[in-house]
Amino acid sequence: MKLVFATHNQNKFKEVAVLMPKNIELLSLNSIGCRTEIPETGATLQENARIKADFVTQKYQLNCFADDTGLLVEGLDGRPGVYSARYAGEHKSAIDNMQKVLTELQGAENRKAYFETVIALNINGEQFMFSGRVDGKIIENPRGEKGFGYDPIFIPEGYDKTFAELSLETKNKISHRGQAIQHLIQFLKKNS
Active site residues: 68
Q: How far is CA 114 from CA 18, 135, 139, 155, 171, in A?
A: 24, 4, 13, 10, 14
3-state secondary structure of 165: coil
Q: Quick one: how far is CA 63 from the chain centroid?
A: 19
Q: Which has the closest alpha carbon to 57: 103, 108, 121, 117?
A: 121
Which SS3 state, helix, strand or coil, does residue 27 take? strand
Asked whether 30 and 8 are in contact (CB, 8 A), the reply is yes
Long-range contacts of range 47-50, CB-CB < 8 Å, 24 or more positions apart? 48/82, 48/118, 49/118, 49/119, 49/120, 49/129, 50/120, 50/127
Burial class (CB in 10 A: 0-12, 13-18, 19+), 118: buried
CA 100 to chain centre: 19
